[in-house]
């Protein structure tokens, strides 16, 4: 079973336009949809769609729109009542796949509520294969919240602790590095910020450079880095090697949640016992399939095409950035 913790979930609304977004103008949408969201929630949605046992942990009252949507979609979840409404995020997509997002900050959780979330993750992670700590933190939460969860889970379960992945950004992602998670899943911009590179676009354009800076994180104790690079695919760096996977050509309809689906694909590969290169292949296949779907829809396993993903071994140390 794969467990995810999403401290700042959302109702993700997607508005599809018939043409380019025109600032300051009135435009009529061709379609609108809403799904329960937040990185960890999206990962569980993708895993469930592919027939994998998963559970989403999140704050939220039973009558909250996000929690009700999870129940409607039969997504396994466990929510902690907080007495406040969860946020809504809005994504506006253009016909060429360009996506503009506006994310609300979300409700502030008390110290007691954050502690309860941490304790819930510790309790439910018993026997799990993976624990994924995902997304932004609620306003006012300490930057090292994910690091605290990692420490608490490992202290409670010892050698029986699940492998732990972190998919976040900014200070929470940076603070988690010292806790040496088994996997980090940044995109190019997040990897650049984490490693002191001035422009994430340089990592997208040069996957070898991306692998090189990811190698430094692995050398520092992180188990592996799966860095998604947009249309360039993704790189995976572990202590045993580094690989680049180039995605298939697709007609992108919405990039919302594509990175979450990529992580879900990677986790699926690990559960099957696939090699690191094959796990990366499934990750990119999942991400590409998600980007080809409208709104925040997630692909089923049969909608992914890992055989169409080319994987190349890299020497990450040749791409190290000084």
Q: Who contacts 133 (Cβ-Cβ below 8 Å, separation ≥6)?
A: 4, 5, 40, 121, 146, 149, 150, 164, 165, 166, 167, 168, 176, 181
Rounded to an integer, what distance in angstroms lies between the CA atom of residue 194 and that of residue 53? 32
Tell me phi and psi for residue 85, to 5 degrees: -75, 140
Tell me phi and psi for residue 34, to 5 degrees: -145, 135
Q: Who contacts 11 (Cβ-Cβ below 8 Å, separation ≥6)?
A: 34, 35, 36, 37, 65, 66, 69, 86, 87, 88, 89
C-beta of residue 66 within 8 angstroms of C-beta of residue 11: yes
Sign of CA dihedral 255, 269, 282, 72: negative
DSSP state at residue 158: G
Catalytic choice (61, 206, 260, 274): 260
Rounded to an integer, what distance in angstroms lies between the CA atom of residue 245 and that of residue 236? 8
Tell me phi and psi for residue 144, to 5 degrees: -95, 20
Residue 24 tokens read as 């300051």
Rounded to an integer, what distance in angstroms lies between the CA atom of residue 194 and that of residue 216? 11
Residue 240 among the catalytic residues:
no
Task: Count the helices and strands in the chain (H runs, E runs).
Answer: 10, 14
Q: Which residues are designated catalytic?
A: 260
């Amino acid at each position: 079973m794969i467990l995810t913790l999403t401290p700042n979930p959302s109702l993700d609304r997607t508005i599809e336009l018939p043409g380019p977004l025109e600032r300051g103008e009135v435009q009529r949408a061709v379609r609108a949809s809403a799904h329960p969201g937040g990185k960890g929630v999206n990962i569980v949605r993708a895993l469930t769609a592919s027939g994998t046992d998963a559970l989403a942990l999140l704050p939220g009252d039973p009558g909250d729109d996000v929690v009700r949507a999870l129940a409607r979609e039969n997504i396994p979840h466990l929510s902690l009542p907080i007495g406040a409404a969860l946020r809504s995020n809005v994504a506006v997509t253009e016909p060429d796949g360009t996506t503009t997002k506006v994310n609300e900050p979300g409700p502030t959780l008390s110290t007691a509520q954050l502690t309860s979330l941490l304790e819930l993750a510790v309790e439910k992670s018993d026997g799990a294969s993976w624990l994924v700590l995902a997304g932004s933190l609620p306003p006012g939460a300490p930057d090292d919240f994910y690091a605290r969860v990692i420490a608490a889970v490992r202290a409670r379960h010892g050698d029986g602790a699940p492998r732990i992945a972190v998919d976040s950004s900014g200070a929470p992602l940076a603070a988690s590095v010292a806790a040496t998670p088994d996997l980090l899943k940044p995109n190019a911009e997040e990897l650049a910020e984490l490693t002191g590179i001035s422009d994430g676009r340089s990592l997208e354009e040069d996957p070898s450079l991306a692998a090189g800076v990811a190698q430094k994180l692995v050398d520092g104790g992180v188990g592996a880095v799966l860095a998604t690079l947009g249309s360039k695919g993704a790189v995976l760096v572990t202590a045993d090697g580094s690989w680049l996977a180039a995605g298939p050509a697709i007609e992108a309809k919405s990039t919302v949640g594509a990175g979450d689906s990529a992580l879900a694909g990677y986790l699926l590969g690990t559960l099957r016992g696939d090699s690191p290169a094959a796990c990366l292949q499934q990750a990119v296949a999942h991400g590409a399939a998600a980007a080809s779907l409208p709104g925040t829809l997630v692909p089923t396993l049969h909608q992914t095409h890992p055989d169409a993903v080319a994987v190349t071994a890299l020497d990450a140390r040749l791409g190290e950035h000084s």
